[in-house]
Amino acid sequence: MTQNLKIDYIEFYSARLEATQDFFAQAFGWDFTDYGPDYRDIRNAGTGGGLERSAAAPPLVILRADDLQAAYDQVVAAGAQITKEIYEFPGGRRFEFREPGGTDMGVWSEG
């Protein structure tokens, strides 16, 4: 089964990164890999995830795409508002959007 445009990663935001990390570890048994002072990669949570030091906000659901530009074009055609244009990050590229009902989401691809 293809993983194209399936949920792949969920990012959580916390103004108290260390407290949230400690809670997730104690409550759920999740492990973390540090990527600098403001970001943790979540391990052993059932799906990929991250924890970012930022003002508390709803989690960001991120889909994986085989072709990032095609996914971009598809969500725009379906009525999404692009909130972050395509950008690079270690490990890939991604964009973020708001679907017509107000949910913020993202799409990423390798390289």
For 66-78, give the secondary structure using H, E and C.
Answer: CCHHHHHHHHHHC
pLDDT at 36 over 90: yes
Q: What is the CATH number of domain 1-60?
A: 3.10.180.10
Do the domains 65-111 and 1-60 match in fold?
Answer: yes
Per residue in 85-111, pLDDT tens?
999 998 899 999 999 889 999 999 997
Rounded CA-CA distance 94/74 in Å is 14
Average pLDDT of every residue of the chain: 94
Q: How far is CA 76 from CA 49, 73, 79, in A?
A: 25, 5, 5
CATH superfamily of 65-111: 2,3-Dihydroxybiphenyl 1,2-Dioxygenase, domain 1 (3.10.180.10)
pLDDT score recorded for residue 3: 83
Domain ranges of the chain: 1-60, 65-111
pLDDT of residue 49: 96
Predicted confidence band of residue 1 (pLDDT cuts 50, 70, 90):
low
64 vs 56, higher pLDDT: 64
